[in-house]
Amino acid sequence: MGLLQVIARFDIVQIGPLTIDLEELGGALGDASQDKTDKIHNQKVVYSSDAVVVFERAAHIARRDNSPKVGLVHLLVAFAYEDNGLMAQLKEKYGFSGMEWRSALSKWQPISFDKGQAGSEIGAGRKSPMEFNQKQFFSPDEAAEFLDVHTQTIRGYIRTGKLPALRLAGERALRIQRDDLLALLEPYKPEEK
């Protein structure tokens, strides 16, 4: 689920022809999922032997792919072989096989695994101020980078109506106008004592 959240946009994962709604999936998982989340936050989580197998499989796939690093896509492909847990639920709910999952991933452009980790390379792919100065419309990710906040914050603002967003006709993609982003900023007034 964590991997899917990394690649989700507005709780939607789009991999080739497959569209997975994480919000709906979370609801379908129900209380059990919530329990699991609580468990993750409150207890030490140890990788199970099943997870160890998935990591090794991902390393094997990356090696076969002649990739110097194990990427997010390799980990996602490694899950194609799983018939338990979340993967089993995804296969049942969306009616795809492991083969179809791998096929969808092969056509999908992944983001680097490292980029999503702990921020060791945060900023490496950042746009220069000049690039931002010329832009009038921003994707949610770019808007987050522009204001130096998390994408989830931008998503929250859009959901609550604090930040207007436009939808490209017939598409899922959202765009935010530069002026609307700037309008979020207000002068800081120190509290009167």
From the list 110, 111, 51, the residue with the least C-alpha distance to 82 is: 51
Q: How far is the CB of 142 from another protein (least distance, A)?
A: 25
Q: 79 and 89 in contact (C-beta within 8 Å)? A: no
Residue whose entry in the numeric block shows the structure tokens 């089993």: 88
Q: 72 and 108 in contact (C-beta within 8 Å)? A: no
Q: Which class for 19: exposed (0-12), middle (13-18), buried (19 or more C-beta within 10 A)? A: exposed
Q: How many residues bind another protein (CB under 8 A)?
A: 19
15 DSSP β-pair partners: 18
Q: Which is nearer to another protein, 6 or 184 (CB)?
A: 6
Q: How far apart are CA 134 and CA 144, in angstroms?
A: 16
Q: Which is nearer to another protein, 23 or 38 (CB)?
A: 38
Q: How far apart are CA 153 and CA 190, in angstroms?
A: 24
Q: Which is nearer to another protein, 63 or 172 (CB)?
A: 63
Q: How far is the CB of 70 from another protein (least distance, A)?
A: 6
Q: How far is the CB of 182 from another protein (least distance, A)?
A: 31
List, in sequence order, every beta strand (DSSP E) within the chain: 12-15, 18-21, 137-138, 166-167, 174-177
Binding mask 92-121 for another protein (x = CB under 8 A): -------------------------xx---
Q: How far is the CB of 85 from another protein (least distance, A)?
A: 17
Residue 6 sits in the site that holds another protein (CB under 8 A)? no
Question: By CB under 8 A, what part of segment 22-81 binds another protein?
Answer: 44-49, 51-52, 55-60, 62-63, 70
Q: How far is the CB of 51 from another protein (least distance, A)?
A: 7
Residues making contact with another protein (CB under 8 A):
44-49, 51-52, 55-60, 62-63, 70, 117-118
